[in-house]
Amino acid sequence: MFKNIGLVLVAFLGGVIGSFVFHQYLSEDPYFNNPEQFSRSEEIPMSQVRHRPPIEEANQNLGSPVPDSFVEASENSTNSVVFIKNFSGTDSRRYSIFDYFFGQGMAQQTVSTGSGVIFSEDGYIITNNHVIEKAETIEVIHKKRTYKASLIGSDANTDIAVLKIEADNLPAIEIGSSRELKIGEWVLAVGNPFNLTSTVTAGIVSAKERQINIMGGDFPLESFIQTDAPINPGNSGGALVNINGELVGINTAILSRTGSYTGYGFAVPVDIATKIANDLIRYGEVQKAIPGIEIKEISPDLAEEMNLQSLDGVIVSHVIRNGAAEKSGMEVNDVIVKIDGTEISGKGSFEEALSYYYPGDKIQVTYQRRGKLNTVQLTLQNLLGGTGVINRSFYASALLGAKLETINAIEMDRYGVPYGVKISSMTRGYLNDLGFGNGFIITDVNDQPAKDPEKVGKFLEEFSGQLRIEGLTPGGRSFAQSYSVR
């Protein structure tokens, strides 16, 4: 009896809540508030109404026909997607910008979950950086087996991370091409939303080269694939596959006011993700190639001000001293329209075009200056200003509660300093107690130049007495502070 009463109460409350939500939805609808605005100006005869054609007829008119089913694509991909658990060991409240776009906040919980994609048969797995962020222990679950995973590397600029588990003969996913992916193509999102493992949803590619300004890192790279395939919390790090079940993207975010799917999801293109993953596996760090410039979008106002006939391309806003662009003769306000023959429509396509190259690669850049087109060859540089592969020096210290790393060439140019050690990955520790935070740059310690992260870190760990630290805040302001250290 009480069970029946409980069911009635649940149904009643559900109806009340549903009515309230529906009323709220209608109250925001412009037609509900002003129906006259949407009234038809004339009646349309039924003979002129176009009915939806049968699927067979539609298939004849579509470049990417409506499939009979998604069975083959599902079978080719679901076995290659894993379930990931992130054990932080502490309160892992996550009030990041991803909470707004992806609804992944895990307030007052010590375990958060996500998805990953098997990249190789010997146990390398691609996922999102925010899925494994701040993890003390990571577990990967595949076909009911649980593996302890080690973090090979991560990149906040693209939100890509690589894990490794000790296993062989894993079903590595087939890699497709995001560059060949067309708007309007069918795609499937494969992952573990709401801890529901091996879930598949379908939709189409809604847009490419989309920027939604959610990436962290010093050089955020956003050129998302936008899709209406339903993506929800837990899908992060999962697979976006084409109709053949080939990987075309790594699901990363959704645009949502509720934290759940309400329309569009975003995935890192697979061509970018695999380049990042291969770099992390081979070098332990992403080998970013830079042209030595900073750029900005072309707005209608800028186009009018500069007398530009098109909004396509990007404007050079800053030329880095001794960088590749400066050496080639490029200047501020040059408008880049092509890279190696690929047309540049905006920041997304510019960043994606560059993301496939390595330091030392030569590219042809076509730009417009005062109405005239010019083409120059640039030799791309690494983050330290050279042209070779780099392994950036860093020192991680539990006592200091941070990772110390050398600053790059762009930061040297930006702040006007020849060297420095930057603080990142802050947790509770010595540097936090001294008042430092992520992004602070130490230039001198007790009047000695701070060039080597390990030397600086070990000195701070062992020093006692009067300590003086000089440097720059994340905003670029100089500081000099003295401390009495026991």
The DSSP H or E segment spanning 319 is strand 314-319
Please check whether residue 355 is in contact with residue 221, taking contact to mean a CB–CB distance below 8 angstroms: yes
**Cβ atoms within 10 A of the Cβ of 445, count?**
19
Write down the pLDDT at residue 262: 64
Give residue 43's pLDDT.
34
Identify the residue whose tokens are 């590219």.
363
| The pLDDT of residue 425 | 81
Structure tokens at 228: 């209406």
Give the pLDDT of residue 179: 94
For residues 265 and 252, what is the distance between their CA atoms, to the nearest angstrom? 8
Given this model, what pLDDT does residue 118 score?
Answer: 98
Give the catalytic positions in this structure. 130, 159, 236
pLDDT in tens, the chain (486 residues): 444 444 333 333 344 334 443 344 334 433 334 433 323 223 333 333 333 344 444 444 444 566 777 999 999 999 999 999 999 865 544 444 444 444 444 444 478 899 999 999 999 999 999 999 888 899 999 999 999 999 999 999 999 999 999 999 999 999 999 999 999 999 999 999 887 888 999 999 999 999 888 887 777 889 999 999 988 888 999 999 999 999 999 999 887 666 666 678 999 999 999 999 999 999 888 999 999 999 999 999 999 999 999 999 999 999 999 899 999 999 999 999 999 999 999 999 999 999 999 999 999 999 999 989 999 999 999 988 888 887 766 888 989 999 899 998 888 888 999 999 999 888 888 999 999 998 999 999 999 999 999 999 999 999 999 999 999 999 899 999 999 887
CA distance 184 to 336: 28
Q: How far apart are CA 437 and CA 460, in angstroms?
A: 16
Report pLDDT digits (tens) over 137-163: 999 999 999 999 999 999 999 999 999
Give the per-residue pLDDT at 242.
97
C-alpha torsion sign, points 6, 12, 13, 14: positive
Please give the pLDDT value at position 299.
95
Q: Which helix (H) or strand (E) holds 453?
A: helix 453-462
* Pick from 269, 255, 265, 250: nearest CA to 209: 269
Task: Classify residue 48 as left (phi > 0), alpha (psi -120 to 50) or beta.
Answer: alpha
Q: How far is it, in rounded angstroms, from Cα 123 to Cα 164? A: 5
SS3 of residue 262 by DSSP: coil
The terminus-to-terminus CA distance of the chain in angstroms comes to 70
Contact 439, 421 (CB under 8 A): no
pLDDT of residue 67: 74
Helix (H) or strand (E) segment spanning residue 117 = strand 111-118
The predicted structure's pLDDT at residue 418: 93
Distances (CA, A) of 377 to 72, 303, 326, 386: 45, 26, 11, 17
Strand 362-369 and strand 394-397: the pairing is: unpaired
Given a contact cutoff of 8 angstroms between Cβ atoms, the answer to whether 187 and 248 are in contact is: yes
Tokens of 16: 């009340």
- How many helices and strands, by DSSP H and E, does the chain display? 13, 25
**pTM exceeding 0.75:** no
